Protein backbone atom coordinates (compact mmCIF):
# COMPACT_ATOMS: atom_id res chain seq x y z
CA UNK A 1 0.00 0.00 0.00
CA UNK A 2 1.46 3.45 -0.87
CA UNK A 3 2.64 5.42 2.16
CA UNK A 4 0.02 8.22 1.99
CA UNK A 5 -2.78 5.65 1.61
CA UNK A 6 -1.41 3.73 4.59
CA UNK A 7 -1.50 6.86 6.75
CA UNK A 8 -5.09 7.56 5.63
CA UNK A 9 -6.07 3.97 6.39
CA UNK A 10 -4.39 4.12 9.80
CA UNK A 11 -6.11 7.37 10.73
CA UNK A 12 -9.47 5.99 9.56
CA UNK A 13 -8.96 2.88 11.70
CA UNK A 14 -8.02 4.97 14.74
CA UNK A 15 -11.04 7.26 14.32
CA UNK A 16 -13.40 4.68 15.83
CA UNK A 17 -13.50 4.43 19.66
CA UNK A 18 -14.21 0.69 19.59
CA UNK A 19 -11.12 0.06 17.46
CA UNK A 20 -9.02 2.25 19.78
CA UNK A 21 -10.32 0.23 22.74
CA UNK A 22 -9.38 -3.00 20.96
CA UNK A 23 -5.86 -1.65 20.39
CA UNK A 24 -5.62 -0.61 24.04
CA UNK A 25 -6.57 -4.14 25.07
CA UNK A 26 -4.00 -5.63 22.68
CA UNK A 27 -1.36 -3.35 24.20
CA UNK A 28 -1.72 -5.57 27.28
CA UNK A 29 -1.04 -8.71 25.24
CA UNK A 30 -2.37 -11.13 22.67
CA UNK A 31 -6.11 -11.90 22.75
CA UNK A 32 -8.60 -13.98 20.79
CA UNK A 33 -11.56 -12.44 18.98
CA UNK A 34 -13.85 -13.77 21.71
CA UNK A 35 -11.74 -12.18 24.43
CA UNK A 36 -11.74 -8.90 22.53
CA UNK A 37 -15.53 -9.02 22.09
CA UNK A 38 -16.30 -9.71 25.77
CA UNK A 39 -16.32 -6.11 27.13
CA UNK A 40 -18.41 -4.71 24.27
CA UNK A 41 -22.19 -4.70 23.87
CA UNK A 42 -21.85 -5.63 20.19
CA UNK A 43 -21.79 -8.97 18.41
CA UNK A 44 -18.67 -11.01 17.78
CA UNK A 45 -19.11 -10.59 13.99
CA UNK A 46 -19.07 -6.80 14.53
CA UNK A 47 -15.83 -7.13 16.51
CA UNK A 48 -14.44 -9.28 13.68
CA UNK A 49 -15.24 -6.47 11.24
CA UNK A 50 -13.39 -3.99 13.48
CA UNK A 51 -10.43 -6.35 13.64
CA UNK A 52 -10.48 -6.64 9.85
CA UNK A 53 -10.24 -2.82 9.55
CA UNK A 54 -7.36 -2.79 12.04
CA UNK A 55 -5.62 -5.63 10.18
CA UNK A 56 -6.01 -3.90 6.80
CA UNK A 57 -4.50 -0.77 8.34
CA UNK A 58 -1.52 -2.86 9.46
CA UNK A 59 -2.22 -2.20 13.14
CA UNK A 60 -3.15 -5.77 14.13
CA UNK A 61 -1.66 -9.11 13.15
CA UNK A 62 -3.74 -12.25 13.43
CA UNK A 63 -2.65 -15.87 13.40
CA UNK A 64 -4.53 -19.16 13.26
CA UNK A 65 -4.04 -21.65 16.08
CA UNK A 66 -6.54 -24.45 15.55
CA UNK A 67 -9.97 -22.89 15.98
CA UNK A 68 -8.61 -19.77 17.65
CA UNK A 69 -7.45 -16.62 15.85
CA UNK A 70 -5.33 -14.71 18.36
CA UNK A 71 -4.65 -11.06 17.59
CA UNK A 72 -1.69 -8.92 18.59
CA UNK A 73 -0.39 -5.47 17.81
CA UNK A 74 1.61 -5.45 14.59
CA UNK A 75 5.25 -4.45 14.90
CA UNK A 76 6.07 -1.08 13.33
CA UNK A 77 2.44 -0.36 12.60
CA UNK A 78 2.56 3.18 13.93
CA UNK A 79 5.90 4.20 12.40
CA UNK A 80 4.39 6.28 9.60
CA UNK A 81 1.88 7.93 11.93
CA UNK A 82 4.66 8.62 14.43
CA UNK A 83 6.79 10.25 11.71
CA UNK A 84 3.82 12.38 10.61
CA UNK A 85 3.10 13.51 14.17
CA UNK A 86 6.80 14.17 14.76
CA UNK A 87 6.84 16.46 11.71
CA UNK A 88 3.84 18.36 13.11
CA UNK A 89 5.43 18.60 16.57
CA UNK A 90 8.62 20.01 15.05
CA UNK A 91 6.66 22.57 13.02
CA UNK A 92 4.76 23.66 16.13
CA UNK A 93 7.99 23.96 18.09
CA UNK A 94 9.48 26.18 15.36
CA UNK A 95 6.36 28.34 15.40
CA UNK A 96 6.52 28.72 19.19
CA UNK A 97 10.21 29.58 19.05
CA UNK A 98 9.53 32.22 16.40
CA UNK A 99 6.71 33.65 18.53
CA UNK A 100 8.99 33.70 21.59
CA UNK A 101 11.60 35.68 19.60
CA UNK A 102 8.96 38.18 18.43
CA UNK A 103 7.63 38.63 21.95
CA UNK A 104 11.15 39.10 23.31
CA UNK A 105 11.85 41.78 20.67
CA UNK A 106 8.62 43.55 21.61
CA UNK A 107 9.59 43.51 25.28
CA UNK A 108 13.06 44.89 24.48
CA UNK A 109 11.58 47.78 22.49
CA UNK A 110 9.16 48.69 25.30
CA UNK A 111 11.92 48.72 27.89
CA UNK A 112 14.16 51.19 26.01
CA UNK A 113 14.02 54.95 26.47
CA UNK A 114 14.52 56.85 23.26
CB contact set of 102 (below 8 Å; sequence gap of 6+): none
21-74 residue pLDDT tens: 999 999 999 999 999 999 999 999 999 999 999 999 999 999 988 888 899 999
Q: What is the pTM of this model?
A: 0.77
pLDDT recorded at residue 52: 96
pLDDT recorded at residue 3: 59
pLDDT recorded at residue 93: 92
Listing DSSP states for the chain in one string gives: --HHHHHHHHHHHHTSHHHHHHHHHHTT--B-HHHHHTTSSS-HHHHHHHHHHHHHTTSEEE--BTTB--EEEPTTTTHHHHHHHHHHHHHHHHHHHHHHHHHHHHHHHHH---
70-106 residue pLDDT tens: 999 999 888 989 999 999 999 999 999 999 888 888 8
pLDDT recorded at residue 45: 93
Average pLDDT, the chain: 90
Amino acid sequence: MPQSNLLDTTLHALADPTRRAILARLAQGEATVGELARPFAISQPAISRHIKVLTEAGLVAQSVQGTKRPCRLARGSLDELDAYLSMLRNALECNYQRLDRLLAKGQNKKGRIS
